[in-house]
Amino acid sequence: MGRKRLKSSWHKPVSANIIALHHRILEAYYSPEFDEERSDHRSVSLARHGAYEVRLVELSRKMETGAEPLWLELFDHDHQRAIDSYGGRTLVDITAAAESLCAKAKSLSHTD
């Protein structure tokens, strides 16, 4: 009996960091803090480095006007504003963007 190999859509090895972020995004999305009934603008922290926080954000369905359903934002607590963001529809895209924003948050926190 021959074995079939599954083709992977990943072109490079999956890092432990990506796997951890993938799980954290799923946990955040299904957490009570991300409950649709609580607010029009829902967000949950994925990671924080110093004053910089990466958040998973979902806008209310009432507010969506063709926007991507899930957003990530890099929030600067010192200046109380988002300094970068990314919108996406798939968990793979959001996870890759989260890795990039977390690296940026870490880098920024070391330069402060």
- The string of pLDDT tens digits covering residues 42-75 is 788 999 999 999 999 876 554 555 656 778 999 9
What does the mean pLDDT of the chain come to?
Answer: 79
pLDDT for residue 1? 47
**Residue 64 φ/ψ, nearest 5 degrees:** -65, 130
**Does pLDDT of 10 surpass 70?**
no
pLDDT for residue 66? 60
- Of 7, 53, 60, give the one whose Cα is nearest residue 35: 60
**Does pLDDT of 37 surpass 50?**
yes
Give the H or E element holding residue 28. Answer: helix 16-29
Q: What is the pTM of this model?
A: 0.73
What is the C-alpha separation between 37 and 21, in angstroms, rounded? 25
